[in-house]
Amino acid sequence: MTVKDFGITKDGIATKLYTLKNNNLEISVTDFGSTLVSIVVPDRNNKPTDIVLGYDDVSGYETDDGYYFGCNVGRCANRIARGHFVLNNTEYNLDINNGPNNLHSGLNPYSKRVWTVENQNDTSITFSLESPHMDQGFPGALKMYVTYELLEDGFKINYNATPDKDTIINVTNHSYFNLNGEGSGTVLNHSVKIYADSFTPADETSIPTGEIEAVKDTPMDFNNFKTIGQDINKNYIPLKYANGYDHNWVLATAGDVDRTAVRLVSPETGICLSVRTTEPGIQIYSGNFLDGTIKGKGEIVYNPRTGICLESQHYPDSPNKPQWPSTVLRPGETYQSVCIYGFSIAE
């Protein structure tokens, strides 16, 4: 483990960048937001390649305007319709920050706070954050833990929390992957396989309709490898509404972390990523709103579709969809969500 200064926040707090390394990969994370800043893996010619978008120091993450590079999003990731839900007969209202809806819990995200380092060693680091009762509008205080742990050929993110009152929780990591190397053009040539027979169609504001729809014979079918670019511009309503891929797939793995949920492969570098998760769904977002106005690492401009997010999570708007896997967490229960990223090189 190496530790470097990552810059000082506007409030004068000194932040750090922690790097974990083994023979196969290196990841760097900061206590600002517990954010994943870089993943460096060798390509097929052994060239070290950083495969996630981000910024060079804390000021980029602090001023980030709605991109969430590498962020751990909580307390409830994705959209909640009209920023409103009912729990135990009480109505709760959240910030409206995305059209008429709440996105990624609103204007005071976990990702813009400085977290505490609870534990660190050569292979793992655990950050924690105290989230009080009514933080972002959610009931119940909880202490959120995020652990990054190096594995031989990848790494694991583990989320944990226990509330003191009934609450809602759904945490995910919002890294934008580009297996050609961050800052090197679009991800449209990446091949993807998603182990899912269905997805949750949504309205124009990306709120699921509540239906579960088969992917067969639609552009949403990635059961056989195909490139992200192959169907992305097809005249298909869900793609038009979201300006590309920005949808939740219902994973056939159904929370089995031993089974692969998604594979992503770059034909250029040969880098392959596999995702496994305890979560029932994954939001796959093809960076449609990266608009060429943001300068990321090394002052490189990030244009549309230059990164893809693979956000393991419960389905969007679950607090308003009682028929779906529940995002309710009660005192005495422990929230646990695991996402494992594995790396290899294509033959």
Burial (Cβ within 10 Å: 0-12, 13-18, ≥19) of residue 152: exposed
Give the residue with the Cβ less far from ligand GLA, 110 or 285: 285
Catalytic residue status for 311: yes
Task: For 230-286, give the DSSP string.
Answer: HHTTSS-HHHHHHTS-EEEEEETTTT-TTS--EEEE-TTT-EEEEEEESSSEEEEE-
Which residue in the block uniquely carries the two structure tokens 């230059």? Answer: 306
Q: Considering 26, 104, 174, 247, which one is annotated as catalytic?
A: 174
Asked if 68 interacts with ligand GLA (CB under 6 A), we say yes
Give the separation between CA 42 and CA 62, rounded to whole angstroms.
Answer: 29
Mask: binding to ligand GLA, 74-113, rule CB under 6 A, as x and -?
-----------------------------x----------
Q: How far is CA 195 from CA 174, 281, 300, in A?
A: 20, 10, 33
Q: Is 347 exposed, middle or buried (0-12, 13-18, 19+ CB in 10 A)?
A: exposed
Per the CB < 8 A criterion, the answer to whether 33 and 71 are in contact is yes
Per-residue interface string for the shown chain with ligand GLA, residues 120-159, x marking contact by CB under 6 A: ----------------------------------------
Residue nearest to ligand GLA as judged by C-beta position: 285
> What minimum distance in Å lies between the beta carbon of 21 and ligand GLA?
29
Asked if 283 is part of the footprint of ligand GLA (rule: CB under 6 A), the reply reads yes
Pick between residue 149 and residue 311 the one whose CB is nearest to ligand GLA: 311
DSSP summary character for residue 303: -
Minimum distance from CB of 126 to ligand GLA (Å)? 25
Of 193, 289, 300, 320, the one binding ligand GLA (CB under 6 A) is 289
Pick 167 or 286: Cβ nearer ligand GLA? 286
Taking a C-beta distance cutoff of 8 angstroms, is the pair 346, 270 a contact?
Answer: yes
Q: Which distant-in-sequence residues (6+ apart) come within 8 Å of 343 by Cβ?
A: 24, 25, 41, 153, 154, 271, 272, 273, 274
Q: Which is nearer to ligand GLA, 291 or 333 (CB)?
A: 291
Of all residues in the chain, what percent are helix, strand and coil, respectively (each to 5)?
10, 45, 50
Angstrom distance (rounded) from CA 123 to CA 121: 6
Find the shortest distance in angstroms from Cβ 165 to ligand GLA. 28
Binding string, 308-327, against ligand GLA, x = CB under 6 A?
-x-x----------------
Stretch that binds ligand GLA, among 216-224, 261-269, 283-291, 296-304 (CB under 6 A): 283-291
Residue in 61, 67, 85, 335 binding ligand GLA, rule: CB under 6 A: 67
Q: Rank residues 57 and 311 by Cβ distance to ligand GLA and give the closer one.
A: 311
Between CA 40 and CA 309 the distance in angstroms is 17
CA angle 316, 236, 176 (to 5 degrees): 50
Tell me if residue 314 is catalytic. Answer: no
Piece of the chain touching ligand GLA by CB under 6 A; list 63-71, 84-92, 105-113, 274-282: 63-71
Torsion angle (degrees, nearest 10) of CA 174, 251, 257, 268: -60
Minimum Å gap between C-beta 99 and ligand GLA is: 10
Examine residue 199 and tell whether it contacts ligand GLA (CB under 6 A). no
Q: How far is Cα 97 from Cα 174, in angstroms, rounded to an integer?
A: 17
State the DSSP H helix or E strand holding residue 60, giving kind and residue range, or none if neither.
helix 58-63
Provide the token pair at 153.
Answer: 């050929």
The residues in 245-274 that bind ligand GLA, with binding defined as CB under 6 A, are 246
Active-site residue, selected from the candidate residues 104, 279, 311, 314 = 311
Query: Residue 66 or residue 322: which is nearer to ligand GLA going by CB?
Result: 66
Shortest gap between Cβ of 154 and ligand GLA (angstroms)? Answer: 22
User: CB under 6 A: which stretch of 6-14, 138-146, 265-273, 281-289 binds ligand GLA?
Assistant: 281-289
Site residues for ligand GLA per CB under 6 A: 66-68, 103, 206, 246, 283, 285, 289, 309, 311
The residues assigned a catalytic role are 174, 311
